Structures are given as structure tokens and as C-alpha cells.
Structure 1
Amino acid sequence: MNRNMLSNIVEAITKQAQAHPERIAYDYRGAQYTYRDVEDQSNKLANALDAANLTAGAPVLVYGGQSFQMLVSFLALAKTGHPYIPVDTESSTDRTRLIIETAQPALIIEVADLPFETPAKRIAYHRLMPILSDVTELNFTPDYDLDRAFYVIFTSGSTGRPKGVPISHANLLSFVNWVVDSDLLGPANSLLQPPFSFDLSVMATYPTLVSGGTLKVLPQANTKSFKDLFAMLSQLEVNDWVSTPTFAELCMVDPNFNASKYPTLRSFIFCGEELTVATAAALKKRFPEAKVINTYGPTEATVAITSVEITDEMIANDRRLPIGRVKPDTTVVVRPQVMTDEQGDEILSSGELMITGPSVAAGYLNAPEQTAKVFLKNADNTMTYATGDLGHFDHDLLYYEGRLDHQIKLNGYRIELEEVAFHLRQLPAVDKGVVVPEYGKDHRVKRLVAVVVLNASLKADSDVAMRIRHDLSTTLMPYMVPARILFRDELPVNGNGKVAVKQIAQEVNEA
């Protein structure tokens, strides 16, 4: 890395506010907020939070959508030494309750109204701001401990409980410095489409703000209908596009999604799921001058740790596109795996990707047993994370080959199939049930399928299927609810007496 590296994310944003106070930092549905607004409002909120005498370093949950007040809350909390936990309004009540129960936040800031009661201390943002002091300078000296968590993102968990991943100031610095230094993102208009509860949002947010760029927000509400989606997109004048490949594929349904209609678009940066050859080829055809950049990384290693610009040669020659070259301060080791098939015979699999470096988190929040399974602290105090992802190197390019376990990605969201199955089996209508992915021809997960044995009193029909999906929607995020319900009289078992999940998955995908 050749440029002067940042030593503090929050102070870098403050410097942008000092140098360019009237520059637009955040554009939300036409409401524009300057870097002065970012600094002044986060300082005012930080002063109030500092005076509240919350437990030092305790996390604070921020509940809301993608409004400017979310960003203000995040930065105010960073200034007061409290990691923020973003929870989106699309989260189910049960999931949000579990996050609160696991994280034990010192406070809940309600940018949007929390839809249930909780014993946790809470305060509504709109009630707080009018009573704040007009002082826009910090009345305390921040302590930016690099080892302290900056934020906590909750991901899907195999036990039915979501897992919290605390990302430290040092982790985030490693990521942001790499993104900015490698010119992935910078002082331009960046699309902010993912919700803040999805760590892909971090890729757009902090590299853009430390560089003095503008975040152009595409609210989730505007992605639910094509009319609203394209009406909003056409107004944003985005330079750098950050999303999952699936979202770009959705946009390509419109033949007008091309360079002539979106002349400002100069790069597509993808993360969160596999970028297929077909999608990359279609984008390069529609936007011949734009870069298509593929990246890879788990939440546990701070968003992404590889990147590569996809070339025409890769599209022509590769069955699966590379996920990138590893960032300079990080190493990835491919650990050979020996697995057993359903008959108990050993078979050789692809290698598991082991990530070591300063962007790897220290573990899961309040979950030492889960942490011990996949995190390792090395003698030099660096951390290694066992991803469960399979892959291989071809020279310096890394290629992804799938998952080691039952964790999959659907539309960019990481899902533990056992978490979905756990909630499925809790339903009164269900006697037994498993959840398996159905794959498309591009090797990506097309949808989740629940295979169910009903309780004896029920008859399998479309009404029961609809009821199961409805009941699951009250406990799971929308993207985790199986799109298809299949009924069986019994589930097959293997030689060990366990449900033969692989056999079921094979049958679903061969049907």
C-alpha cells in the first residue's frame, strides 16, 4: 500500500467535514445531508450519550431503516466508545428479541419504533434530538481504542439463534484502508442499497465517507416494485455500484438498465454471493466501459478480503469466476478437508479457506463455545478464521467452490439451513422437517425448499403450505422463509439412523 493510511475512521470523517463542510455526504430520497450535518448531529448525540453514563464499552442497538439518523447514531456511538448493533425494520420480532437477548445492549435507540415491549432501556430518536444541547463540539475527549468493537453484525446461526460478530476499529481500518488504497471506492457517488444490518452496507458506507464521497441511498421500500425501483435508480446518478449480484440481475430485467440510460456508472462492485459468468457477461455488454469487480469475504473477516476486476478472458474461459486476489495484509490458506459420505467412507473434498489477518474478528459476541470452533488466536496475536468455504488458488487468484457445511447464501444473505429447520420443526403442524437449497444452472441457490412430514391430524394441501410459510415469517427474516413446501409421508434415513439430508437435497434438485 502506497498512500498514507488512515489511523482512525471517525476522525477521517471529521476531517472531511472540516475540509468540505457543505459537500453532500448522504442523499436519502432527495433529502441531502452535508458533512457538516454528519459532524454536528453526531457530536450532539454523542454528548448526550456520554452524559447518560452507560456501561463503558457496552453495545447499543440501533433499530431502523436506512435514514440519515441511523448513520448519525452509528458515528455518535463510535465517538462514545459503544459498538452499534444495526437491526433493520424488516427483521422479525422473534429474531430481534433473540438479538437483544444475546447482545444485552446498554440501550436501544429507536430511529423507528420497536414493534414490541422489552425490558431493555430504550429511547426514541425523534424524542431525543429536540432536547439536545445546541453545542456541536464534543464536550469530552473520545477514546478510540483500536481493539474495541466498532459495530456488531448479527448473522444466521446454526442453533436457531443469530450470532453476533463484533468488528473492531482495527478490523474496520484494515478493510477501509485496503478499499480506498486499491481504488475500489473513493470520493464519488456510491450506491447504498443493502440494509445496515447486512455488512455489505459497510463496503459502501465508510470507504465513501472517509474519502469525501456521497452515499446515494436506495431504500428497501423502493426495491419492492419495479416501477419504484427504476424511478429511484434513474435519479441517483451513481458512479460506484455496491450490491449483491442478484440485485444487479433484478435490475437487468429492465432493458433500459444500460450505459446510455445510466451514463455515470463506472464500476460494479459485488460481494455477498457468487458472481456468475452469465451475470458478468450481461453487465459488460450493457456497460462496456464500466469495471465489474468481484470480491469475497465473510462477516467474520470484515466484509471482504479479496478483489479482482473481471475480464473478457475470464468470462470466456472460466466455468466459475475468480473471487479475487487477497488483500496485502491478509493471508488465505487452503486447508485440505477429509469428509465422510453417507455410508461413512472417507472422501477428499476441496480445501477450506482459512483467513488470517488484521481484519479478522476476535470471535462471536457472548458465545465462547461457538468462537472456539472457528476462531484461533495465533502466537503473534493475529486471528485466524475457519470460513467453512471451499476453494483453491490458481496462481494468485482465489476461486470459490462451495460450502463445507449446511450454510448457504441466497440473494447475498448468509443462511444457516439448520436455523430455518429449527424454526420449521417448532411449528404445531410439523412432525418432522428439513430445509435444503434448490440450485439453479449457475450453481447458485435459487430458493429454499422445506420438506415436511405433517402431524397425523393434518392433510397436506396448499392451505397448510401457506400457513407454514406464514408462521415461519413471524419468526424468521423474509429471505429465510422457504419459497416451496414439499410434503412427505416420511423422511429417508441413512445408515447411521440420521435423516438423509443429502439424499433429500439431491431429490429436490433432480425433480
Structure 2
Amino acid sequence: MRDLITVGAEPRDVLRGLRATLDGAGPALALGDTRQPVEQVPGGTALVVATSGSSGIPKRVVLSRSALIASATATAGRIGEGAWLLALPPTYIAGAQVLVRSLLAGHEPSLLSGAFSVDAFTAVAASMRSSVGGTPVPRFTSLVPTQLSDLVTAGEADAAVAAELRGFEAILVGGQALPPALAERAAALGVRVVRTYGSSETSGGCVYDGVPLDGVGIRVVDGELQLTGAMLADGYLGEPERTDEVFVRDAEGTRWYRTGDAGTFEAGLVRVTGRLDNVIVSGGVNVSLDRVERIVRTLPGLDAAVVIPVADKRWGEASVVVIARSALAERHVSDVLSELRDAVGDAAGAPARPRALLVVDEIPRLPSGKPDRVALRQAWADRMDARTRGE
């Protein structure tokens, strides 16, 4: 057995703890978890990572030292090794893996302290320039789409910011779907963006630009993407039944992770089409809210829109599109709603058309950068309550 200690969100504390646990000398680390963890875990454990809980209760994922190293090694095999900039919370797997990759590559990571901003990011990026034997050390970072959007917008107006972005060998982007329009804008600036797919249960991203990393196996069972490989988590802390439900073995004894994502794997490419459980039944018709969200995000100014499920007296269930007030620009709410309803109806059929548009001052986000969908559903409920009271 191995001791388990809770580490705060300070990047240097997490880095110090990771260095010790990867060397085998230090205790396992509990990240992103405010609950009191158990005091000991199996000997091979390196991290216990709390999931983001974007739409439910967080789970505590148990990751071994070997799983973390397998993931980091596979990433290096695909994009190369170098110096990494940490711009994500280190208590989530994407941020923790930036530190793991740095340690394994023998480079001290550059840390972005405090809240993310374009100025802070570009200043740290500029400070990373170095060379070994006259050869520049490649630079890498990992971002969520909202961070990339801020940087690309700044880069389109400021050549210096664009130059710093182009200076990265690769910028990994995950955590949520990357809007196609944002990917095109980044490409127009000459920025190499790599779309990643994975989760805490797979020690981070394990599919890059649709192609599985070396050692990663993919299968589709009843429409669900399932993954296998040395990067898989051991399971969920203190939840053996959930572990057995999510991590299954086939007839040959191979262990697979059930992602809960719908998708395909054809010609060597993974395509994620949405969450199997993010489906509503509207008027007797199944509607994938992930598909609706993808369609809405293709419209001008709506690339950060979020689609949430709501109850509907007539149809049983419906969807609402949430946008930040700044996305309206000079347009009227009714005009935007009409535009997006037409777009969704044309692409996915009339039952998929969103019921309403909810405009908020700012999209609330979790520390991981993902939209806080629980908070957004509550915001809609509050609006409906206020209308009922006549406010």
C-alpha cells in the first residue's frame, strides 16, 4: 500500500509532489478533491484525480505511475519532446500531464500563475526560448478551446502574439469539442493545433487529430467508443461496482474503458458524435444535444454557445441555447434565435430545433475550462421561476 495525500491547486506544489511520486519515493497525490480521501491506496498508484463534474457528481479516478508514463511516452512519440508551458489547472488530468511530460523529458515546466490571460501567456511563452547545442528546444502547451479563442483573437490583431503562438511545436486542445471555425482561424495564423480526445480514465488525451496514439486500441460496441491500452486508469476510488461497470474485459481478457461517447472508428480514424447520455426525447424523437451544439457553433459569433436540456410541457423535453451577451453584438435575441432554429432544423430536423435562447453576462466555467452545465441549467430554472412570479 502507498500513502495518499491531498495537494492544493498551487502548480509548484503539484510539480513537487509529482516529481517525488514518479520517482517512486513520494506518496500518491489526490488532486482536485475537497473530500477527505482514504489514507492509503494500492502501491502502484501515483494520482487520484477528481473528474470535472461538468454535468454531475465528480468521480475520483485512480491512475498508476505506469499509466501516466505510458500516456506521456505515447504523446512524445507522436509530437516530440521539449519544454512545456502549463496554462491549465494542475489538479485536472490535462494540466497534470503537462507536468508529467515535462519531468520525463528532463525540462523544467514553465508555469502560468494566477488567472489565464493573453498577456501572461505570451510573456511566459517568450521566456521559454532556449537551445541545446545551438538547436532550439521545441515548445509545447495544452489549452482548452476558450483559451485558444482568446489567444487567436489577440493574434489576429497583434503580430507579436501570433508569432508566439506559431513558436509552439504543437498546441494540444481538448476538454471539449474544438469549433471548426476556431480551428480554421488558428490555421490561418500558422498555429499548429492538435485536437485531443481522452479523459481522466485514459490518463489524458489518447487520440490526436482522430488517430489513436501508439499502444491505444479502439473498438465500437453498440455505438459506444471503447478504449484500451497501458494508459487506462485502475478504476474509481472506493467504487468497485462503478469500476466494474465502466472498465470491462472481453473474452480474451483485454480490459476496455467504456467512454459513454457515441462515435465511429473507420479507416483508422476516430469520430466522436456525442455523449450517449446527452440525448433528449422531444415529441417522441431522440435528439442528440451534442449534435445540436455542433450545428449552433457553426453560426457566426456562436462558436462558444452551450446547449442544455430543459423540460417542456408540450414536447416532454427540449433544448435551450446559452450564449454570452457579447456574442449578440448588435443583433436582437429573436433574430439570433430564428437563425439558429432554422440552421438546426435544416441540418437535424424540426424536433431538434432549440426552444429558446438564454443570454448570460458570461458563460460560467469550471476550473478545467469546461462550461458549467449544472450552473447553466440552474440559471434557466431561475429565469422560469422569475417569470412564474411575474418578475
Pair 1:450–1:202, CA change in 2 (3 A): same
Deviations 1:142-198 (A, max 9, x none): xxx9x711111111459954211111122123212211222x241x22221111111
Pair 1:477–1:59, CA change in 2 (3 A): farther
- Pairing partner for 1:286 from 183, 189, 210: 189
Give the alignment's TM-score, normalised by structure 2.
0.66
- Pairing partner for 1:365 from 234, 237, 246: 237
- Answer whether contact 1:355 1:387 (CA < 8 A) is retained: yes
- Answer whether contact 2:168 2:192 (CA < 8 A) is retained: no
Corresponding letter in the other structure for 1:74: L
Offset at residue 241 of structure 1 (A): 2.5
2:84 alignment counterpart: 190
1:298 alignment counterpart: 199
2:375 alignment counterpart: 482
1:401 alignment counterpart: 273
Structure 1 position 57 matched with structure 2 position 2: yes
1:439 alignment counterpart: 293
- Pairing partner for 1:328 from 214, 234, 241: 214
Q: Which moved more, 1:74-83 or 1:394-403?
A: 74-83
1:442-481 equivalence runs, <5 A: 442=297, 446-447=305-306, 480=372
Pair 1:262–1:268, CA change in 2 (3 A): closer
Deviations 1:12-38 (A, max 9, x none): xxxxxxxxxxxxxxxxxxxxxxxxxxx
Corresponding letter in the other structure for 1:367: E
The aligned length equals 304
Offset at residue 277 of structure 1 (A): 2.1
Pair 1:382–1:76, CA change in 2 (3 A): same
1:267 alignment counterpart: 170
1:71-86 equivalence runs, <5 A: 71-78=15-22, 79-80=24-25, 82-86=27-31
Q: Which moved more, 1:231-240 or 1:148-157?
A: 231-240
- Answer whether contact 1:165 1:363 (CA < 8 A) is retained: yes
Structure 2 residues not aligned, in runs of 5+: 130-137, 280-288, 313-360, 387-391
2:258 alignment counterpart: 386
Q: State the Cα RMSD in Å.
A: 3.7
1:108-507 equivalence runs, <5 A: 148-156=44-52, 161-182=57-78, 184-186=79-81, 188-219=82-113, 221-223=114-116, 228=120, 230-237=122-129, 239-254=139-154, 255-256=157-158, 258-262=161-165, 264-287=167-190, 290-308=191-209, 324-336=210-222, 351-378=223-250, 381-406=253-278, 439=293, 441-442=296-297, 446-447=305-306, 480=372, 482-483=375-376, 484-486=379-381, 487-488=383-384
CA distance in structure 2 between the aligned counterparts of 1:81 and 1:69, rounded to whole angstroms: 13
Equivalent position SS for 1:278: helix
Q: Percent identity?
A: 22
- Answer whether contact 2:48 2:60 (CA < 8 A) is retained: yes
- Answer whether contact 1:61 1:85 (CA < 8 A) is retained: yes
Offset at residue 256 of structure 1 (A): 1.8
CA distance in structure 1 between the aligned counterparts of 2:38 and 2:304, rounded to whole angstroms: 34
Structure 1 residues not aligned, in runs of 5+: 1-55, 88-94, 108-144, 309-323, 337-350, 408-435, 454-468, 491-511
